[in-house]
Amino acid sequence: MKITSSKPPYGVYTPLVTFFHEDESIDFAAVESHVRRMAKAGVAGLVLQGSNGEAPHLDHEERQEMITRTRLTLDSLGYEQIKLIVGCGAPSVRETLRYVAEAKAAGADFALVLPPAYWAPAMTAAVVESFFSAVAEASELPFLIYNFPTVASGIDISSDAIVRLGKEHPGTIVGCKLTCGNLGKLQRIWSSLPEDSFAAFAGKSDFMLPGLVGGSNGVIAALANVVPKVHVQLLNLWSEGKLEEGRKLQTKLSNADGALQKVGVAGVKAVVSYFFGYGSGKARRPLGTTSVQTLSEEILGPIAEVVELGKVAV
């Protein structure tokens, strides 16, 4: 299927967490409160059903309802311009394409696709590259390649492969999210593909500013669930050429992100609930539940510092 699409707009993207009730059903009221806070903070888009959204724990119907409700919430608040990138990765081409079709029908703008990782020993570089080509040939949405070895059996997609795929499928493969943290890879991809049609994203707050220097199209970062305004502020400082101020703010984000990475997905939700009054630290088993009361000051302190910054960020 031939798609001609522009890349996702430049900006901050929040990989949205999914809140659950105690019985593990989705807490849509909390999700909608979260979407509202993200939109008001000035994000360019939301990433649904990524690793932070517990994608493997959601069934097809839940995924569709999450997309539909998120789109309706944004539109009802006048934020029609905010884009939705939806995780659609699966072990097979067939299942991935089903997720893509369902995401499109529910209101997604872009898909985000992990490499297949179940049969890890069989997933050679050539097999992984052929997987993305096969998805691109039939996808109903433009999509980003998601490189996150931690959740993909250690599979790390090379810059050469991403560049080849971007050149072979322009308008369909329109970007990548690099949670791997390889800034050299980001730089190589940015310099090898047209910046106006391919978006390479740094995938963590920890290296947001270095990523921007290397050509990142903004950032997709878990910490944006907590302090979206601070990420927007750093983006603005970079755009205005205020590098020294940006470095100081990046240090605070790196410290907070380092702390947040220690608490897992449930911990991200617990932190959001503690500081902003909605949702809880409940995840679907086997991830369990986290409470802020169990977190040390070493973890909570750096996060609290950027939360205070977010109250005054413009």
- Domains by residue range for the chain, with CATH: 11-241 (3.20.20.70)
Q: Quick count: other Cβ atoms within 10 Å of Cβ 24?
A: 12
Q: What is the DSSP string of 121-189?
A: GG--HHHHHHHHHHHHHH-SS-EEEEE-GGGTTT----HHHHHHHHHHSTTTEEEEEETT--HHHHHHH
- Confidence at residue 270, expressed as pLDDT on a 0 to 100 scale: 98
Kindly list the averaged pLDDT for each block of 10 residues, start to end, along the chain of length 314.
80 98 98 98 98 96 98 98 97 98 98 97 97 98 97 97 98 97 96 97 97 98 98 98 98 98 97 97 96 94 96 72
pTM: 0.97
Residue type, position 301, single letter: G
Residue 155 contacts residue 115 (beta carbons within 8 Å): yes
Residue 305 contacts residue 256 (beta carbons within 8 Å): yes
Question: Which residues have C-beta within 8 Å of that of residue 23, sequence separation ≥ 6?
Answer: none
- Catalytic residue, from 7, 83, 177, 229: name it: 177
Residue 57 contacts residue 284 (beta carbons within 8 Å): yes
- Backbone torsions φ then ψ of 45, nearest 5 degrees: -170, 170
177 is catalytic: yes
Using DSSP, state whether 212 is helix, strand or coil.
helix
